Amino acid sequence: MITMSEDNKPSVEIQHDPEACRFFTVVDGVTAFAKYLVNEGTIDIRHTIVPKEIGGRGIASKLVAAVYKWGDEQNLEPRASCSYAALWCKRHGIDLPQNEGEEQASCAL
């Protein structure tokens, strides 16, 4: 579903499916998602998938932001097994434990 943001540009509606441990959106009939794992006071983004048909729109960033925002509301510390999430954290000034996310070339499944 496409909604309009405050600046009248199309934005995505991010939804949470806690039973599946994922945040997702459907854009142009295509689903993108970020899977996470909650464990011992942490929230670890394990996998972020945005199919190429809807890529290049900032969807992955919005999904990761939604996961970490929810985690923060639950008082969970961020972790990033997913290489994209690790890069997102670095870009947004979120400190992860040393070397986390840097050794993995792709998302954990």
Give 72-76 contacts, CB < 8 A, sequence gap 24+: 74/38, 74/43, 75/41, 76/38, 76/41, 76/42, 76/43
The pLDDT value recorded for residue 104 is 45
The pLDDT value recorded for residue 10 is 59
The pLDDT value recorded for residue 3 is 45
Ordered alpha helix ranges (H), 9-58: none
Cα 25 to its chain centre, rounded Å, is 11
The pLDDT value recorded for residue 8 is 47
CA dist 54 and 32 (Å) reads 8
22's tokens? 């994922």
- Give pLDDT tens digits for 57-88: 999 999 999 999 999 999 999 999 999 999 99
5 or 34: whose pLDDT is higher? 34
Has residue 2 got a pLDDT over 80?
no
> Where does the pLDDT of residue 53 fall: very low under 50, low under 70, confident under 90, or very high at 90 and above?
very high
Show the domains of the chain with their CATH numbers.
2-91 (3.40.630.30)
